[in-house]
């Protein structure tokens, strides 16, 4: 008797060998380990006879793609966010969608804090100054930054990552205020010494603001020209969540005009392209969407996605199912 045929899965971007090995024990794997991004047409062709897809936030999974891969049963995103996936379209076709929450919280919080510190202490500016050979000696008023310790930190979005950021702020004796769609439980507020405020009060009171909300239509340009004008002139904005939450053009103008002191950015509208205006500014720290980019975390993300995919294709409920309602459609 022939063994049952393994489901075919497509992995769109290079991942670690242990994730491929795990998938291979359960599935027939077509892995794009050369890491050249698929065009929409190439991805559709690769998925024509596939039951599973393990993708990255750079891959667009929309209704047009789904129409070309009728056998698809599960999409496993190697990310917490999934705005690259049309989840309602997947649900309508009975396709399970999963993500990778939890495993990247601390690494992403670390990066957000690093951006805040680097912007406050002008780290990229002074490193460039050193590398250019411009440093001739110590001066009392040279390269003055601002203190992070004992400052007021406003966190917009108090989910797992927002809470991890608040926890780090305690070590710097910061006053923490936050705004969230729903107020978190009193015991969490007490543990993190965090006070709930309106978005307007957070903008007006904070010395530092870190954005940690998912991208969705309701958070598109959550921070625009009007919100930037509400911030303190000496405030620093950190966007470590998703491009599009900030109106980048408005932020460039605010930084040019000194509406706020500076910004630290890990994400951008239309990335990998970014507003060219950022490149001429000295009061912005720019990094290329590396919030979760440590080896341990990225390995954990890939393995989480692989386990989600195998579970979905094996008839089990995936640990991180985004659209649980799809199970009722079976």
**What's the token pair of residue 221?**
């340009």
- Give yes or no: 13 in active site: no
Cβ atoms of 192 and 166 within 8 Å: the answer is: yes
Residue 140: DSSP 8-state: T
Using alpha carbons, select from 227, 207, 231 the residue that is nearest to residue 219: 227
- Give yes or no: 316 in active site: no
Spell out the residues 6+ positions from residue 201 whose beta carbon is closer than 8 angstroms to its own: 177
* Preceding omega of 77 cis (within 30 degrees of 0): no
Using alpha carbons, select from 222, 237, 240 the residue that is nearest to residue 289: 240
Name the catalytic one among 242, 261, 298, 307.
Answer: 242
Alpha-carbon distances, residue 193 vs 105, 110, 114 (angstroms): 19, 19, 21
Spell out the residues 6+ positions from residue 33 whose beta carbon is closer than 8 angstroms to its own: 11, 14, 15, 20
- Give yes or no: 8 in active site: no
Name the catalytic one among 179, 261, 289, 298.
Answer: 289
Positive or negative, the CA dihedral 147, 148, 152, 154 is positive
How far is residue 12's CA from residue 34's CA, in Å, rounded to a whole number?
10
Rounded to 5 degrees, φ, ψ at 84 are -80, -5
Q: How far apart are the two ends of the chain, measured CA to CA in Å?
A: 29
Name the catalytic one among 14, 28, 189, 271.
Answer: 271
Residues with a catalytic annotation lie at 242, 271, 289
């Amino acid at each position: 008797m022939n063994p049952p045929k393994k489901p075919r899965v497509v992995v769109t971007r290079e991942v670690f060998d242990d994730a491929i090995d795990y998938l291979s024990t359960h599935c027939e794997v077509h892995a794009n380990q050369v890491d050249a991004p698929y065009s929409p047409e190439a991805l559709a062709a690769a998925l024509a006879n596939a039951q599973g897809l393990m993708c990255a936030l750079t891959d667009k999974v929309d209704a047009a793609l789904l129409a070309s891969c009728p056998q698809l049963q599960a999409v496993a995103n190697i990310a917490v966010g999934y705005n690259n996936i049309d989840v309602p379209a997947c649900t309508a076709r009975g396709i399970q969608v999963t993500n990778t929450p939890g495993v990247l919280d601390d690494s992403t919080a670390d990066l957000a804090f690093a951006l805040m510190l680097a912007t406050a202490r002008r780290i990229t500016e002074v490193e460039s100054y050193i590398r250019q050979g411009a440093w001739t000696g110590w001066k009392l008023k040279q390269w003055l930054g601002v203190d992070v310790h004992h400052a007021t930190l406003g966190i917009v979005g108090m989910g797992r990552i927002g809470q991890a950021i608040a926890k780090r702020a305690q070590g710097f004796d910061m006053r923490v205020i936050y705004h969230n769609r729903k107020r978190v439980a009193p015991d969490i507020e007490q543990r993190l010494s965090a006070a709930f405020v309106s978005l307007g009060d957070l903008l007006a009171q904070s010395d530092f603001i870190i954005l940690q909300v998912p991208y969705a239509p309701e958070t598109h340009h959550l921070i625009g020209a009007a919100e930037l004008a509400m911030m303190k002139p000496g405030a620093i904005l950190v966007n470590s969540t998703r491009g599009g939450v900030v109106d980048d053009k408005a932020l460039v103008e605010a930084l040019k005009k000194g509406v706020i002191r500076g910004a630290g950015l890990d994400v951008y509208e239309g990335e990998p392209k970014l507003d060219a205006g950022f490149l001429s500014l000295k009061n912005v720290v720019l990094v290329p969407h590396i919030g979760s980019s440590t080896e341990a975390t990225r390995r954990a993300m890939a393995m989480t996605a692989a386990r989600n995919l195998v579970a979905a294709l094996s008839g089990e409920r995936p640990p991180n199912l985004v659209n649980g309602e799809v199970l009722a459609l079976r």
